[in-house]
Amino acid sequence: MPIGIHLDTECATIVAQDACRAGVPSELWIRIAVEASHRMVEVLSIATIDRDSLVDRLDAVSAGADVALVVASAGGHRAYAGLLRRGGDGHSVTSPRSRFSLLLPDQIASGWAITAANLGLPLPVWIGQRIRSAPSGVVAWEAAAAERGNGLGEWIYANALRLATER
């Protein structure tokens, strides 16, 4: 089910600039950025690591060499990661849009809605907060997760755990 959101001017500008820089459609950038920011908040609430260390770790790991997936069913993940790494086909933005319709997996959509409700925030306001706090490298993170056959949240959690156990 699509989720319709209306973003304020600041968020719309962030989305337009960062999606264009990453070469991906705005709706995809929003999904990746919000999910990454959301999962980081969760991890940082329970782990004994700081945000900057986690961002540095995720940036470093995502900049590493692509991992060859040997499972035949992983071809879709490989192709998706490759598209993210190459950037888009001229996803340029002439002016920021403020209205979006996001198609999200049920698990992500319900997770976002529950988190926003638990904080007493309307979903678009919570999404705006997550957009504002999203680190710049989130599309590379999504590519690295896909290269490893992981979802973004799973990949963030695994790297946070590795970072925490190294200390």
Give yes or no for a contact between 139 and 69, defined as CB atoms under 8 angstroms apart: no
* One-letter identity of residue 109: A
Give yes or no for a contact between 49 and 160, defined as CB atoms under 8 angstroms apart: yes
What pLDDT score does 64 carry?
77
What pLDDT score does 116 carry?
97
- Per-residue tokens: 134: 């999203």
Give every residue of the chain whose pLDDT is below 50, as ranges: 69-72
Residue 95 gets which letter from DSSP?
S
Q: Measured between alpha carbons, how far is residue 144 from residues 58, 60, 84, 119, 137 in Å?
A: 9, 10, 9, 30, 11
Residues 37 and 104: their CA atoms lie apart, in Å, by 16
**How many other C-beta atoms can be found within 10 angstroms of the C-beta atom of residue 31?**
25
Q: What is the pLDDT of residues 154-165, one digit of tens each?
A: 999 999 999 999
